[in-house]
Structure 1
């Protein structure tokens, strides 16, 4: 199995392993916090290895809650992500679910998660983009795609895309029925919360000229029609998704070019 392309990590970061499966990355300080929370876990100078438990989800969730109580995890969402068995090509297939845990803890453990991003295209070629609310726990105030969100445990990408479109932009079921899949890409980067490792499932939607978005959940401060050439001011993931879609020519396909 191939490893993801990683940004430069500090030399003392440790691999988090469940048995023989390499799942995440931890700083030494985070590893020290985790060690007493996983019964039987072993710490070396290279890895934190844990053989698991009868109910992985219960133990990992309890560990996340303990870390939250210590102030080590912020931005708690009360939503679970699924941790998958590693695959060589996670952008083209999904691994077996190993456990579920609060999504805010995934960066702490450096675990791979999944999200959906939807590019909204106007008939004149401009993109309809949202500016993230200042209350968002990650990337507040930055520009985003028309809609985007984490893939909840047990959820399919298309269903997630339709849900996020309604919650963030007021796109109803009739309009979101025109969604087109646009592939997937993987982004990996260091953040203040830990390692962000996520597969982004991309969708594209052609919007009528008269469509006006209406945010439903308070997570979008405003919407803007923008030329797709400049990626300044976007979240790293949104910028990657837009560049990926343009490279694929998805906007031309939507407009029959």
Structure 2
């Protein structure tokens, strides 16, 4: 028997999905590499950006980085040094010593990614409004029950809110599957033998303004069906507890705003997207 979603539950799920990608707010300054728009910054950042990256040019309302003739490593060094100076004056916080890939823009970032242009500390991506990538895994138990983690109170973003079984940013030069398996092992104690059952379920775009800047991220969705009785265990301190939710409980928590924006959308995507329905047999 397939999962039955009521009209009210479907409305909650669709609302969670519709809210994940908001328009770029008006009034932001484009951040460009030559003619390529890579990100967006608030004009209130003009002064600190001028001090910390004097070679950046403000031209016709956009910050222009004249580094099209450099290779990936040289660009990475330039923008990395600027990010370090911004960190030293407190403009970038939550430094992780992990680098994401900055990509050339493509028509649909949820399809194959754009050409890598540089590598940059992940904490700097929101400051510059750059697009990043992340993996999110919906974990199912028999009976169409979704296993969700609660983010630890020590997390820099969305502390205490509900999340997917595991999720994490895609570091530069890491494959999506390797990232998903790593996050499953670190956050939920899923052994490699079990994570080989991962199923790719497409991708969706997340975009909104946050205090750190523009959050712009492609969420690559995976699903994993776990055996009955399996109990996930966090190993990196980023999850305080795990909850097993049936559809009714899940929708009630989504409606109450208990989930982070991205996790809510990924839950909804996993339940509404046609390719994921094979996971939802009671």
What TM-score bracket applies, with the shorter chain setting the length? over 0.9
Q: Which of 114, 123, 129 is matched with 2:142 structurally?
A: 123
The Cα shift of 1:235 comes to 0.5
Q: Residue 44 of structure 1: CA displacement?
A: 3.7
| Structure 1: gaps of 5 or more residues | none
Q: Deviations over 1:196-229 (max 9, x none)?
A: 0000000000011110111010000000001244
Alpha-carbon distance in structure 1 between the residues aligned to 2:104 and 2:49: 20
- 1:102-134 CA-partner distances (Å, limit 9, x unpaired): 000000000000000000011011100000001
Partner Cα separation in structure 2 for residue 96 and residue 6 of structure 1: 25
| Cα contact 2:136–2:263 (8 A) shared by 1 | yes
How do 1:131-150 residues align onto structure 2 when only pairs under 5 Å count?
131-150=150-169
**Which residue of structure 1 aligns with residue 16 of structure 2?**
none
Whole-angstrom CA distance in 2 between matches of 1:86 and 1:65: 25
Runs (4 or more) in structure 1 with deviation over 6 Å come to none
- How much has 1:36 moved relative to structure 2? 4.1
Q: SS state of the match for residue 23, structure 2? A: coil
State the aligned residue count: 252
- Larger helix share, 1 or 2: 2
Contact between 1:204 and 1:250, CA under 8 Å: does it hold in 2? Answer: no
The equivalent of 2:105 in structure 1 is 86
Structure 1 match to 2:25? 9
3-state DSSP class of the match of 2:190?
coil
Report the counterpart of residue 264 of structure 2 in structure 1.
239
Q: Per-residue CA shift, 1:139-183, capped at 9, x if unaligned?
A: 111100000000000001110000000000000011000000000
Residue 187 of structure 2: SS of its match in structure 1? helix
Evaluate the alpha carbon distance shift between residue 176 and residue 207 of structure 1 in structure 2; reply closer, same or farther with a 3 A threshold: same
Cα 1:215–1:158 change in 2 (3 A) is: same
Q: TM-score, normalised by structure 1?
A: 0.93
Pair 1:190-2:209 in alignment: yes
User: Is the 1:86–1:95 Cα contact (8 Å) retained in structure 2?
Assistant: yes
Give the RMSD, CA atoms, in angstroms: 1.6
2: distance between equivalents of 1:255 and 1:126? 8
Q: Which residue number corresponds to residue 158 of structure 1?
A: 177
| Secondary structure of the corresponding residue to residue 108 of structure 1 | helix
TM-score when normalising by structure 2: 0.85
Whether the 8 Å contact between 1:125 and 1:251 is mirrored in structure 2 is no
Give the aligned partner of residue 42 of structure 2. Answer: 27
Is the 8 Å Cα contact of residues 35 and 41 (structure 1) preserved in structure 2? yes
For 1:128 and 1:102, the matched residues in 2 are separated by 31
Alignment partner of 1:114: what SS?
strand
**Pairing 1:64–2:80 present:** no
- Cα deviation for residue 254 of structure 1 reads 2.0
Contact 2:96 2:121 in 1 (8 A): yes
Q: Which residue of 2 aligns with 1:73?
A: 92
Task: Specify the SS of the correspondent of 1:91.
Answer: coil
